[in-house]
């Protein structure tokens, strides 16, 4: 994978174990490259810095209330299930969010009948 920015390198490093799963790969979302499970993106390193991840709305609410991250806004609209973590958040927090996002999107993404 070609590095896009330091946060992309960080995302790749922290998600290395997840990429060993056959249904996890890299893919495009909004002009960025992110991690996907069965074609659905769950974590993206942002060009402007930081990472966004898809989590249950209640988890996004909790993280935002705790000051851990902020709800993503896209096209001027807040997104219920997307949280943004700053580049300054530590690796432990990023890892927790990446794993939680994978688990969440894996649980809501149908598996192919042929597998």
> Does a structural domain hold residue 82?
yes
SS3 content of the chain, % helix, strand, coil (to 5): 35, 30, 35
- What is the rounded average pLDDT of the residues 84-107? 98
**Does any domain span residue 67?**
yes
Examine the pLDDT at 28 and tell me if it is beyond 80.
yes
Structural domain includes residue 1: no
Q: Is residue 93 part of a domain?
A: yes
Q: Which residues face 37 on adjacent strands? A: 24, 40
- Does the pLDDT at position 3 exceed 70? no
For 33, phi and psi rounded to 5 degrees? Answer: -110, 125
Is 115 a member of any domain? no
96 with 107: CB under 8 angstroms? no
Question: Under a CB-based contact definition with an 8 Å cutoff, are residues 45 and 11 in contact?
Answer: yes
pLDDT in the model for residue 112: 80
113 pLDDT more than 70:
no
pLDDT value at 61 more than 60: yes
Share of the chain above pLDDT 70, in %: 94
Give the domain range for residue 85.
6-108
**Does residue 4 surpass a pLDDT of 70?**
no
Q: How many domains in the chain?
A: 1
Q: What is the pLDDT of residue 54?
A: 98
pLDDT at 80: 96
In a domain, 113, yes or no: no
**Tell me, what CATH number does 20's domain have?**
3.90.1150.200
For 103, the 3-state DSSP assignment is: helix
Positive/negative CA dihedral, 64, 19, 15, 31: negative
The predicted structure's pLDDT at residue 88: 96
């Amino acid at each position: 994978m070609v590095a896009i920015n330091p946060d992309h390198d960080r995302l790749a490093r922290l998600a290395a174990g997840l990429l060993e799963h056959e249904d996890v790969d890299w893919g495009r979302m909004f002009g960025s490259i992110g991690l996907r499970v069965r074609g659905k993106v769950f974590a993206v390193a942002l060009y402007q810095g930081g990472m966004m991840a898809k989590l249950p709305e209640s988890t996004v609410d909790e993280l935002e209330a705790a000051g851990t991250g902020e709800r993503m806004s896209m096209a001027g609209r807040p997104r219920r299930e997307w949280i943004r973590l700053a580049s300054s958040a530590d690796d432990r927090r990023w890892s927790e969010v990446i794993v939680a996002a994978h688990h969440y999107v894996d649980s809501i993404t149908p598996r192919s009948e042929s597998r």
